[in-house]
Structure 1
Amino acid sequence: MPPNGYAWWYVDAISDCGTRALSVIGFIGSVFSPWYAWSGRRDPANHCCINVATYGPGGRFTMTDRGRTALCTDGGALTVGPSAMRWTDDRLVIEVNEWGALPMVTPVRGTIEVVPGALTSVELPLTPDGAHVWRPFAPVARVEVALESQGWQWRGHGYFDANFGTRALEQDFAFWTWGRFPVADGATCFYDATRLDGSRLAQAVHFDHDGRATEIDPPPLQKMKRSLWAVRRETRGDAGCAPQQVMNMLDAPFYSRSMVRTVLNGEQSIGVHEALDLRRFRSPLLKPMLAVRVPRRSGWQFPG
């Protein structure tokens, strides 16, 4: 992977009861790590992590920036320190063994299994030169959660994708939103971005339960209420609908992740939405704030 490069593998899930959610991101070249930025992004493998966040009663946030001695990619698995993401038979199994960030420094342990309805072959460049690529592996999936905490054993609908890049996100983008919304015949995903050169990405893809992808005309952009940190938010929905946040999942000065209700082709859907303000992220004032929530543990070693 070149300097400034990154790869991340992302999972999200919402419980069938709608009261809990989670996200897991495995990073090599951790794009939101202040330590990777401060290092000059010369060595992506020296800044890796498995970020786990749970939302709802007893939710926790974990994101430890680890050095290259904690990274192993053998056997089709991504192992970072004591946690791992690996394919086992027909599913992605995530083994979690992390500690929550300040101020709730408690263990977050257990397993998460992602069972895709089907795997897609879609690969979407996010810039004309292909420096950033979105790879939605399983837009329709079932997820089984078994964490060692009361109430954190549940099933729900989920999603699995990856992003890869050869430049820092803030080198090419000013702002983006992304969303995945389950519908009766599959899931619909939206990727909207404003690049630094002023050009725009407006991508809408529908995935059926067999993994077939169809590029569709994006429904209108609809404004949403700003996040608690006043991050601008918008998503797609039928003309006249007013998308609303159902649950605040993650709120940062430059980033918002939330459970959002919208309407697509007359069908109400609750999915996961994110908004990312990369102009804010470029501010050097943010990096020390992030370091409080993203500790650096460079010397972790595998046993033996």
Structure 2
Amino acid sequence: MIGFIGSVFSPWYRWSGRKNPQNHVCINVATYGPGGRFTMTDRGVQALRQTNARLEVGPSMMRWHDNQLIIDIDEVSSPPLINRIRGQIRVTPSALTQTELPLTPDGAHIWRPFAPSSRISVDIDRPGWQWEGEGYFDANFGTRALEEDFSYWTWGRFPSATGATCFYDATRLDGTKLAAAFKFDEAGVGTSIPLPPRASFRRSLWAVKRETRADAGFTPRQTLNMLDAPFYSRAAVETKIDGERVTGVFEALDLRRFRSPFLKPMLALRVPRRKNWRFD
């Protein structure tokens, strides 16, 4: 799930001229597997309340309490499977990191992996939608639209026996490239590490190009399809790092496709606009 202030993938935010990010806020929830749902309701400024420890967007919220990130969700999924999803998610970091990565030389886009290693508990009001496991919490901040600065990027977070490894690769519109790899230990200490070779693997269902990092000679593979869009792929991917086979979450984003004006009306069907909201 993702909390947005200035919903970067919202066509309504794009059509507004992106002048007021607080007027396009969202709690995006995606569940996978049989009966999976997707929610991404674009809400107006009346639906936003913030403090240093709390983000409320309409009926859902994220809040820090006793060193946990507690997320209460109450959302309605978008077509074609329209129904309500309610529940609570708790993220307990092993530690918080101070690592921060500028994605452009002028710092217009920043990646901050707050908690690369966490435990997570999920309790959603559906039979079988309760589980505990490994979690991750990060954030991206930006002062320009993604498609103004990038043509393509990939990101991956892979757990290991000693913590987690993250890869961030991006091609900027000016032709320059970003390539970064960080290893995080259980104490949250992040260390820049040498980059394993790039390794391509099968394209997504929408033929989005996908590549991540792997030991030389190893071909990564998708183990679970999570989310497919004409410009975006999210999946669980197995790769090999320093001789260890690991499976983590991978994303690929094609901003050349996302820039297409023909895509925005399609997105509007999946991202409904609900500008009015009243807190009790």
TM-score by length of 1: 0.91
- Code of the residue aligned with 1:28 in structure 2: it is I
User: Between Structure 1 and Structure 2, how many residues are aligned?
Assistant: 280
Take 2:52 and 2:116, find their aligned partners in 1: how far apart are those partners? 24
Structure 1 residue 75 displacement after superposition? 4.9
1:233 aligns with 2:210: yes
Q: Write the distance in 2 (CA, Å) between the matches of 1:31 and 1:75.
A: 22
- 1:278 maps to 255
CA RMSD of the aligned region, Å?
Answer: 0.6
Q: 2:49 aligns with which of 72, 87, 103?
A: 72
Aligned equivalents of 1:255, 1:167: Cα separation in 2? 19
Indicate yes or no: 2:124 matched with 1:124: no
How many Å separate the matches in 2 of 1:136 and 1:53? 20
Distance in structure 2 (CA, Å) of the matches to 1:131 and 1:291? 27
CA distances 1:159-207 after superposition (whole Å, capped 9, x unpaired): 1001101000000000000000000000000000000000000000000
Match of 2:269 in 1: 292
Equivalent residue, structure 1, for 2:31: 54
Report whether the alignment pairs 1:84 with 2:65. Answer: no
Q: 1:98 and 2:75 equivalent?
A: yes
**Equivalent residue number for residue 161 of structure 1:** 138
State the match for 2:219 in structure 1.
Answer: 242
Map Cα deviations across residues 73-111 of structure 1 (whole Å, 9 max, x no partner): 125111000000110111100000001110111111100
1:300, distance to aligned residue in structure 2 (A): 1.3
What is the letter of the counterpart of residue 196 of structure 2? P
Structure 1: give runs of 5+ residues left out of the alignment: 1-23
Aligned sequence identity (%): 66
Amino acid at match of 2:189: R
- Aligned-partner Cα distance in 1 for 2:14–2:74: 25
* Matching of residue 184 in structure 1 with residue 161 in structure 2: yes
Aligned residue in 2 for 1:19:
none
1:196 maps to what in 2?
173
1:120-166 residue CA offsets vs partner (Å, 9 max, x unmatched): 00111000000000010000011000000111100111110011010
Q: TM-score, normalising length from structure 2?
A: 0.99
Instruction: Give SS of 2:14's match.
Output: helix
Residue 262 (structure 1) aligned with residue 226 (structure 2) = no
Secondary structure of 1:156's match?
A: strand
Q: Does residue 1:205 correspond to 2:182, yes or no? A: yes
CA distance in 2, matches of 1:144, 1:181: 19
Aligned to 2:18: 41
Per the alignment, residue 13 of structure 1 pairs with none
Amino acid aligned to 2:105: P
Query: Match for 2:171: what amino acid?
Result: T
Which consecutive aligned stretches of 4+ in structure 1 deviate over 3 angstroms post-superposition? none
Distance, in Å, in 2 between the alignment partners of 1:37 and 1:76 is 28
Give deviations 1:213-250, integer Å, cap 9, x for gaps.
11001100000100000000000010011100001100
Provide the rounded CA distance (Å) in 1 between the counterparts of 2:132 and 2:25.
Answer: 28
Q: What is the alpha-carbon distance in structure 1 between the residues aligned to residue 73 and residue 243 of structure 2?
A: 39
Distance 2:34 2:133 in 1: 16
SS of 1:57's equivalent in the other structure is coil
Query: What is the letter of the counterpart of residue 133 of structure 1?
Result: I
* Separation of aligned partners in 2, 1:265 and 1:182: 13
Report which stretch shifted further, 69-78 or 140-149: 69-78
SS of residue matched to 1:56: coil
Question: What secondary structure does 2:257 align onto?
Answer: helix
SS of residue in 1 equivalent to 2:31: strand
Residue identity opposite 1:154 in structure 2: W
Amino acid aligned to 1:121: Q
Q: Which amino acid aligns with 1:164?
A: F
Match for 1:104: what amino acid? Answer: L
The amino acid of 2:126's aligned partner reads S
Distance 1:76 1:158 in 2: 20
